[in-house]
Amino acid sequence: MLLIYLCLSTSYTPDFEEFSITVVIVVTALFTMTPYIRADLELPRDEPIRFNRHRRKVYFYQYRMDRLHPFGRKNWGVQPIAYNWEDLTAEVYRIYVPTAGLKEEIMISVRKPGSDKVIDRVFLTSNPEKGQLYWELAQHFMEHGLEGLPHFEHEPWAWNEGTYSNPFEQRAPKVRWPAEMDLESRSAPGGDEQ
């Protein structure tokens, strides 16, 4: 950018080498920063998970990004998906982060039906204790329903109507399930809404 400014404001004329280095730097910066800027603008307010015990399915509202194709549409955006409950497991991952040291994350792993091959992973939480608690609550709900679940201090609230401490979160796209999946995830096989 400094080179472009110098060329426009003075009579300085860069040689081919300086010009090509500047072009390489600008293109590299563009491809490096675009996925993160795009994710900041497109990331929804929340990525909810719906558990439907009557259908024995779990519905994920997940945002996907592809850093190798920052300007593409195919592998970008919200991709709601449903999996069978029996194909899900929770896994703990330890990741070494150079600036923070060893970090643990809890992921929900999806196995291919009838095998142990993992076909997808969905982030659950970065706190192992919370991850264990969340997974135990999900297991209990899928086996026994609402009976026996602990009383929660705060009532659940919809992210789309919530108030936020960060004003930029208010600008994030609202969670919008596809109509068919929204109805299926909230109803029993007979059509009764849960």
Query: What are the pLDDT digits (tens) for 34-52?
Result: 888 887 777 777 778 888 8
d(CA 49, CA 52): 10
CB burial class (10 A; 0-12, 13-18, 19+) of residue 65? middle
- Model confidence pLDDT, tens digit, residues 72-124: 778 787 888 889 989 888 888 888 888 878 888 888 899 988 888 888 888 88
Cβ atoms of 131 and 106 within 8 Å: the answer is: yes
| Contact (Cβ atoms closer than 8 angstroms) between residue 145 and residue 123 | no
pLDDT of residue 7: 56
How much is the pLDDT for 11?
Answer: 60
Amino acid identity for residue 164 in this structure: Y
Give the torsion through C-alpha atoms of 147, 151, 155, 160, to 10 deg: -60
